[in-house]
Amino acid sequence: MLTEQRIRAFLFYLSVFIFLTGLPVILSSALSYKFDTRALKFTKTGLVFLKTQPAGAAVFLNNRLLTETTPATIRELMPGTYGIRLELKDHYPWTADVRVEPNKVVLLDQIILFPLRPNIKQVSKMQFDACFLDEEKGALYYVNYGEGSIYLSDLEGSRMEKVGDILGLNPPAYAWKLSPDRSKLLYFNRRQIGIAYLNAFNGRSIKKTPFIIEHPQGAIENVFWHSDNYHFIVIANRSIEVLEAKPTSLPVELVKLNKPAAQVFFNSRDDTLYFIDSQKAEDGMTYENAYKLELNARTFPFMDLIMPKANNE
């Protein structure tokens, strides 16, 4: 009897001992704590959530393969930086160094794994020197300098048709811009601006001849069409100018810039130009400032500015 009591007492105290010693571990796990062997204390952990497109990628944490695939949640990570690599057959791997912080979730849910052999399709069967996209109309334009021609197709390369004539620039153009009504194409290099007429969306024959405007003063940085489809704004090295879409057009300087190649943004919805330029203040320091230039027809008399009134004398 005495032996049985001793056994029961031993088991009771053993249970208490196990409970008391295991309680911190149980509570720390439930509260996302983990014992840090280096600091010899319990530390709040973090987690990483991974989601890929497509799903099913293998997950490597510091070069150690985990059992689950994406979408995956890696829990109870001690604070620090971890190397994560995702691998999926026939796709390029994805790698990153991820910083985990206490009691925080690192959300990586927009990972795209790109295929090793992308789906590439040839959409033209002719030789072209340049190609540009009209995203709004869902069309592709092609330029053949040898023929002096502009072609148009849909995004699949079908229904190819000639829509205009073009003159080449020297050196070749590095930017192409359609007028808002798609009746004209503007293209330019650092010293020249070309204008070509299109019949892409009205079915009429081409009646006007393409031309080139020389721009000797200041290298051209950018050009924007005005909404009237006749004027365009030129951002030169040290100035902002306006020109007409005609062979004899001469630039009119609207703004003289204090710094070369100023940052410029054009809002085509209301013909407003925003630009950044430097200005010397009273304290002798030079500061960067943002400016707004309204160019809509109601606030800016383009025709009066560019086409002087006749002298009646």
Contact 231, 244 (CB under 8 A): yes
Flag whether pLDDT at 308 surpasses 80: no
- pLDDT band at residue 52, thresholds of 50, 70 and 90? very high
- Kindly report which listed range (18-27, 127-136, 171-180, 259-268) carries the lowest average pLDDT score: 18-27
- Kindly report which listed range (1-15, 252-266, 271-285, 286-300) carries the lowest average pLDDT score: 1-15
- pLDDT at 30 (0 to 100): 43
Closest CA to 55 of 70, 36, 45, 74: 70
Structure tokens at 308: 């002087």
DSSP symbol at 206:
P
Flag whether pLDDT at 249 surpasses 70: yes
Q: How far apart are CA 122 and CA 125, in angstroms?
A: 8
Average pLDDT score over residue span 220-233: 94
- pLDDT at 124 (0 to 100): 83
Helix count and strand count (H, E) for the chain: 2, 24
- pLDDT at 127 (0 to 100): 85
Cβ partners under 8 Å of residue 100, min gap 6:
45, 46, 47, 48, 77, 78, 79, 80, 81, 82, 106
Percent of the chain with pLDDT over 70: 78
Flag whether pLDDT at 12 surpasses 80: no
What does pLDDT average to over the chain? Answer: 83
- pLDDT band at residue 206, thresholds of 50, 70 and 90? low
Structure tokens at 181: 């009504």
**Residue 210: CA atoms inside 13 Å, Cβ hemisphere, count?**
24
Spell out the domains of the chain, with CATH numbers in brackets: 41-112 (2.60.40.10), 169-306 (2.130.10.10)
Q: How far apart are CA 138 and CA 156, in angstroms?
A: 10
More confident residue, 100 or 262: 100
Q: How far apart are CA 275 and CA 292, in angstroms?
A: 7
- pLDDT at 31 (0 to 100): 41
C-alpha dist (Å) from residue 137 to 153, 193, 199, 200 = 11, 24, 14, 11
- pLDDT at 312 (0 to 100): 40
- In this prediction the pTM is 0.66
Whether cis (ω within 30° of 0) applies to the bond prior to 102 is no
Percent of the chain with pLDDT over 90: 50
- pLDDT at 297 (0 to 100): 67
Flag whether pLDDT at 19 surpasses 70: no
